[in-house]
Amino acid sequence: MISLLSLERVAKKTGIRRISKEALEELREIISEEGMRIAEKSVRLSTHANRRTVMRDDIRLAAGKERE
């Protein structure tokens, strides 16, 4: 689980000056859910490619990121 302090640092880097504890907790929940969705999709992608190891490209594809 991601700490609230880590999320607060990320929020501040984006320009947020103040953020409530409840907002941080909600952000943590959303990030956790999205992370699980990406991880599950990554496993399906690696299985489809007949691999047991999830690779960086599987994660990027699952997250909807294009190759860089």
The rounded distance, in Å, linking the Cα atoms of 36 and 59 is 11
Is the pLDDT assigned to residue 50 strictly greater than 70? yes
Model confidence at 65, pLDDT cuts 50, 70, 90, reads: confident
Q: Number of helices and strands (H, E) in the chain?
A: 3, 0
Query: Using CA atoms, how far apart are residues 5 and 35, in angstroms rounded to an integer?
Result: 19
What whole-number distance in Å separates Cα of residue 67 and Cα of residue 3?
Answer: 29
pTM, entire model = 0.81
Structural contact between residues 47 and 40, judged by C-beta atoms closer than 8 angstroms: no
Domains annotated for the chain, with CATH where assigned, are: 4-63 (1.10.20.10)
